[in-house]
A and B are shown apart, each in its own frame.
Chain A
Amino acid sequence: MSTYQEERVPFPSPWRLVKELRLRRPPWWMVALLILVVIGTWIPLALIYQARQQTSRLPRIHFFHDMDHQPKFGPQSGHPWYVDGRAMRQPIEGTIARGKLEHDQEYLLGYVTQDGTRSSPPIRFVTALPERLPQDNALLSRGRERFGIYCAPCHGSQGAGDGQVNQAAIALEEGKWVPATNLLSQMVRDRADGQLFQAISDGVRSMPSYGSQISVRDRWAIVAFVRDLQQTLPTAADSEPTAQTNAASPSQQSTSNP
């Protein structure tokens, strides 16, 4: 096959030109393949971009397992071998951790019982904060913080019974909901420190027990903070049970809460 340069007439005929260009260019399918491959490289990148934008119900893929998952029990993990499904065994009831034995019943319970055991009813509530606690600002600020976490949702940050959860429950018109007590009311002011402590520990009326969520020391700190609130803020006169005691508030307060 000769090319047009070798022909007598140097100008190519149209047919020749087409053939010539075809020879210079690679076949169309090669060009198409290259374009497809280049476009195709964007598909995984697009998928990665999509994966970064979206949330996933599936946990992450572990390409290298290394020791990511070791055959050991983590906190609150489960194991099918145990009947209750928990990997961790519960301590036998009444178990006391080493070094955690506490004899001071007034400090632990806020009251004194007849025979010194927890199961018998209280005969006398503690009327002052335990002496082993530091009576300073650190205790009060700890109490304020703990009160903010555990009490304020219902009782409000100033103890006036206007917490968010309480408001929401009232707005929902929940039949079973007992509105949170105003801690500034005379009824609460009249209670002994130990009684407040016991209310936090074991719950009172519809209020649940917070003994498992708040440590003993923090419960006393909360009592100290509530007392501080009651001293700085005026007595509230709202809820029905306190209506009668309100009349004789100054004298009662001084006698029952030395």
Chain B
Amino acid sequence: MTNIPEPPAGEGDSAGDHSKTRFQFPRWANYLFPVLLLVAIGVMTYIPLLGTLAISPDTRAVGYQPQQPVPFSHALHAGKLQLDCRYCHSTVESSAYAAVPPTQTCLNCHAAIKSDSPKLALVKESFESGDPLRWIKVHDVPDFVYFNHAAHVNKGVACELCHGRIDQMDEVTQVQSLSMAWCLECHRAPEQSLRPREFVTYMGWDALTATGKSQSELGSELAQDYHVQPQHFMTSCSTCHR
């Protein structure tokens, strides 16, 4: 047990006495390499997975439920009172944009019904002053996407398909990601989603119970009737990006 700072003569021979003077890796260091390898593999899998999940539109876009200036309930108006979507969003069949109705449309009924309700104070104020109500847009595709409501609704793409069960929502929430991958799901196989034009605003419509045909069978027929464009057009860049 002396302190001789002498290098060992052979590799394994003189471990005994010199061991205290030299640095020796502890034994667990033998496991360091396999453990670090596993950790590296884990990190390399984890970081991309986390990134993908975090920036996925299913995480960021779905569930957006802004607070609207007036607590308008679609569940009451479209659900319980069974107002057709087009009563208010009357431009949807003729225009690219399904317009938010003017305050006058609210007053059609609310001039007499619940006219003194505090919930409708802003509506009344808007009608008297002429300033529009500033509703907050829930379903907002990027500005480089040219979505046309009329083109979809008139070819049998239902409201429900993109907007979900609006008739059950007190506050409108985004239920679909509205991502390009999601759009293409339907553009690649439109027959899986089409329904007859007269039922586009129906909620909870089902092809089999309503027509007795399977969705793909009915969809293929309708795609032909409505002259739905062939796939090379439907998946062409310039169809949606102009």
Of residues 175 through 190 on chain A, the ones whose CB sits less than 8 Å from some CB of chain B are 176-178
B204 within 8 A of A: no
Is residue A63 within 8 Å, beta carbon to beta carbon, of the partner chain?
Answer: yes
Task: Let me know if A168 is at the binding interface, CB within 8 A.
Answer: yes
Q: Contacts A149-B84, A168-B81: A174 and B143 contacting too (C-beta < 8 A)?
A: no
Q: Which segment of B63-71, B157-165, B212-220, B228-236 sits at the interface?
A: B63-71
- With the chains together, A60 CA to B142 CA distance in Å? 12
With A75-B97, A148-B84 already in contact, 4 other A-B pairs whose C-beta atoms are closer than 8 Å: A51-B59, A70-B143, A164-B83, A165-B81
Contacts of A69 in B (CB 8 A): 142-143
- Taken together as a complex, chains A and B put the C-alpha atoms of A177 and B114 apart, in Å, by 10
User: Contact: A212 with B59, CB < 8 Å?
Assistant: no
Interface residues on B, range: 35 or more
What 0/1 readout, one digit per residue, does chain A (192-225) give for beta carbons within 8 Å of chain B? 0000000000000010100011100000000000
How far, in whole Å, are A48 and B56 apart by their CA atoms in the complex? 10
**Which residue in B50, B58, B97, B105 is a CB contact (below 8 Å) of A52?**
B58
Can you list 19 residue pairs at the A/B interface with Cβ under 8 Å?
Answer: A1-B20, A6-B16, A25-B28, A55-B65, A75-B99, A76-B97, A84-B132, A149-B84, A150-B87, A164-B82, A165-B81, A165-B83, A169-B109, A169-B113, A174-B114, A208-B111, A212-B102, A212-B104, A214-B90
- The 0/1 profile, CB within 8 Å of A marked 1, for residues 98-133 of chain B is 011010110111011111000000000000001110
Report whether B90 and A213 are in contact in the complex, using a CB–CB cutoff of 8 Å. Answer: yes
A residues engaging B (CB < 8 A)?
1-2, 6, 23-26, 34, 41, 44-45, 48, 51-61, 63, 66-70, 72, 74-76, 78, 84-86, 145, 148-150, 153, 164-165, 168-169, 172, 174, 176-178, 206, 208, 212-214
**Cβ-based interface call for B188 (8 A):** no
Across the interface, do A78 and B20 meet the contact criterion of CB distance under 8 Å?
no
| Interface bits B172-200 vs A (CB < 8 Å: 1, else 0) | 01000000000000000000000000100
In angstroms, Cα B143 to Cα A66, docked, is: 10
Pair A51/B63 contact, Cβ less than 8 Å? yes
A22 to B223, CA, bound (A): 73
A67 touches B131 (CB 8 A): no
Contact residues in B for A56 (Cβ distance below 8 Å): 63-65
Q: In the bound complex, do residue A24 and residue B28 qualify as a contact, i.e. CB atoms below 8 Å apart?
A: yes
Q: Which 9 A-B pairs have the closest CB atoms?
A: A55-B65, A60-B60, A176-B112, A68-B142, A70-B143, A149-B84, A75-B97, A26-B28, A177-B112
**A60 touching B19, Cβ below 8 Å:** no
Of A56, A164, A174, most B-chain CB atoms within 10 Å: A56
Q: How far is the CA of A206 from the CA of B97 in the complex (A)?
A: 30
| A residues in contact with B114, CB < 8 Å | 172, 174
Tell me the smallest distance from the CB of B150 to a CB of chain A, in Å: 13
The reply to whether the CB of B227 lies closer than 8 angstroms to some CB of chain A is no
Indicate if B46 sits at the interface (CB-CB under 8 A): yes
When distances are taken between beta carbons in the complex, the residues of chain B under 8 Å from A6 are 16
Main secondary structure of the interface of B (DSSP, over half): loop
A145 to B60, CA, bound (A): 38
A174 contacts B112, C-beta separation under 8 Å: yes
Q: Are A76 and B100 touching (Cβ within 8 A)?
A: yes
Q: Does B144 contact A (CB under 8 A)?
A: yes
A72 to B27, CA, bound (A): 67
Whether B112 lies near A55 (C-beta < 8 A) is no
Q: Is B27 in contact with A52, judged by CB distance below 8 angstroms?
A: no
CA distance A66 to B142 in the complex (A): 9
A85 in contact with B100 given A26-B28, A52-B63, A153-B87 (CB within 8 Å): no
With both beta carbons as reference points, the residue of chain B lying nearest to A24 in the complex is identified as B27
A23 to B53, CA, bound (A): 41
Task: Report the nearest A residue to B115, measured CB to CB.
Answer: A176
**Least CB distance, A228 to chain B, in whole angstroms:** 17
Instruction: Find out whether the CB atom of A52 lies under 8 angstroms from the CB atom of B62.
Output: yes
Say how far B72's CB is from chain A's closest CB, in angstroms.
15
CB neighbours of B109 from chain A (8 A): 153, 165, 169
A59 adjacent to B66 (CB under 8 Å): yes
Q: Given the complex of chains A and B, what is the CA–CA distance between A7 and B236 in angstroms? A: 81
CA distance A41 to B43 in the complex (A): 10
B134/A78 in contact, CB under 8 A: yes
CB neighbours (8 Å) of A53 from chain B are: 63
Residues of B within 8 A of A84 (CB): 130-132
Determine how close the nearest CB of chain B comes to the CB of A246; give it in whole angstroms: 27
The reply to whether A41 and B46 contact each other, CB–CB distance below 8 Å, is yes
Chain A residues with Cβ below 8 Å from B46 are 41
Minimum Cβ distance to chain B for residue A144 (Å):
10
